[in-house]
Structure 1
Amino acid sequence: MVGSALSAEWRGLIKSAGQELFWRRGELLLREGETADRVLLLQQGLVKVTAVSATGFTSLLALRGPGELLGELSSLDGGPRFATATAMGEVAGVAVPAPRFTALMETHGGLALAVLRSVAVRLRESDVGRADLGALPTVARTALVLARLSRSYGTPVPDAADGVARRLTINQQELAGAVGASRESVVRVLRVLTEHRLIAVSRGQVVVSDPALLARWPGAEP
């Protein structure tokens, strides 16, 4: 479970107040710019959070998995959604109307504190991530992003001899958005990392042989 996931107690409370929904790969859970009318608690699957800049470049802001919330900030401040959330596979979650979610936090101070902590973790990770990656060359940024995402959201590879390999569902364009580089540059880096047997690339997936080792790729370790 990642650092911004809620505890079982608070997940149960939110689930009891909402409606279970399902999405197929490619379907939108939330859309950038729309009115924030609900909060989603993810139960199964992986979701990508993206935003489009004024120049048309799509950035991958984050991945979210089971136990994490989507849309809570916009629902609390009443502003439009600042990002789009898209299912990366079969996804299950619970939708809670924004007013009901706010009422839950007003009634349960522990839940409000847990949500605040979740937001704080995300902001800290985002700030640290940008600071770490800002001055690195593309090859190092790509290695570090892959290492971090695979550790947080990758799934174990059953036939891996050492048990540390992780399979990450992400395509080349999404990875380029997370790295902040062109798709062509990232593709070249993936070839280099593949040649060194640090990763294996297939359609829509990257297998990271050893996330810790990849994070220590020359120049990648902050």
Structure 2
Amino acid sequence: MSPVRFWDLLSDPERAELTRSSRSRQYPPGQRVFSETEDDGCTAIITSGRCRVVAYGEDGTGTYLALRQTGDIIGEMAAIRGGRRSATVTAVTLVVAQVLARTTFQKLLGAHPALTAHLLAVMIERLRESDRCQADLAVASTELRFSRVLLRLALAEGVRTGRGVELAGFTQLELAGWCGISRKSVERHARRLQEEGVLLPNRSRGRLVITDLDALRGSARQESS
């Protein structure tokens, strides 16, 4: 099933109205677009690029939620309900986005009921996505969790190179938190995939290269024992 992109649901007049009411901003790779510590309530629509969405617990452990890219809306929950954000959004590539102030976005929703319907469709699909991901990890072994999160990252953020599918921009500790396992487990399962020829030996910090995506898919489908 193709993801539901907010921008794709809009009519040409709706797009024009949102563009007139917003300001364009650029975010280089690694820069935070929104942070959980903020309560400014701004909303943004990504016009190009990709962002990683991570929620952090009180202990600093992160949970990988999603990748958002061209056509996606981000920050909408803070604009609707107010208060601090529920997740941190970081640019993975150069990101260009149309940013709307909270009051502006709320006025647009009030004046154009169709925008609310579009937003609801996106939020329902994201809830389904979240439920699927939680179900995939809920009763999985540490080995299965690692393979499934790695596959999810590869499909969402991977860059194809001559060596395979390359992932970057995170530490082993962050990856461990996203999988809900220890750092030692990450190291152990990474070594196993390297021995099986699925991963290249990690010679660059914060970078992984998946050489056999089909084999990783097979590993992620295995039933836990």
Aligned to 1:80: 84
Bigger mean CA offset, 178-187 vs 204-213: 204-213
Aligned to 1:216: 218
Question: 1:142-173: CA deviations, max 9, x gaps?
Answer: 1111212322332333x37xxxx533334223
Give the C-alpha shift of residue 25 in structure 1: 2.9
Please tell me whether residue 174 in structure 1 is matched to residue 174 in structure 2: yes
Q: Which amino acid counterpart does residue 214 of structure 1 have in structure 2?
A: L
* Change in CA separation of 1:207 and 1:143 when aligned onto 2, cut-off 3 Å: same
Question: 1:58-85: CA deviations, max 9, x gaps?
Answer: 3333222222121101111112212222
Q: Which amino acid counterpart does residue 17 of structure 1 have in structure 2?
A: S
Give the C-alpha shift of residue 19 in structure 1: 0.9
Contact 1:136–1:220 at 8 Å: present in 2 too? no
Aligned residues: 217
C-alpha distance in 2, partners of 1:67/1:207?
28
TM-score by length of 1: 0.83
Question: 1:80-120: CA deviations, max 9, x gaps?
Answer: 21222222342221111112222223333333222212111
Which of these two proteins has the greater Rg computed from alpha carbons? Answer: 2
Aligned to 1:113: 117
Aligned to 2:6: 6
**RMSD over aligned Cα atoms:** 2.7
Contact 1:65–1:153 at 8 Å: present in 2 too? no
C-alpha distance in 2, partners of 1:87/1:177?
19
Contact 2:197–2:212 at 8 Å: present in 1 too? no
Aligned to 1:26: 30
Q: Which amino acid counterpart does residue 169 of structure 1 have in structure 2?
A: A
* Change in CA separation of 1:135 and 1:34 when aligned onto 2, cut-off 3 Å: same
Bigger mean CA offset, 63-72 vs 145-154: 145-154
Contact 1:198–1:208 at 8 Å: present in 2 too? yes
* Change in CA separation of 1:46 and 1:218 when aligned onto 2, cut-off 3 Å: closer
* Change in CA separation of 1:121 and 1:9 when aligned onto 2, cut-off 3 Å: closer
* Change in CA separation of 1:216 and 1:85 when aligned onto 2, cut-off 3 Å: same
TM-score by length of 2: 0.82
Aligned to 2:41: 37
Please tell me whether residue 136 in structure 1 is matched to residue 140 in structure 2: yes
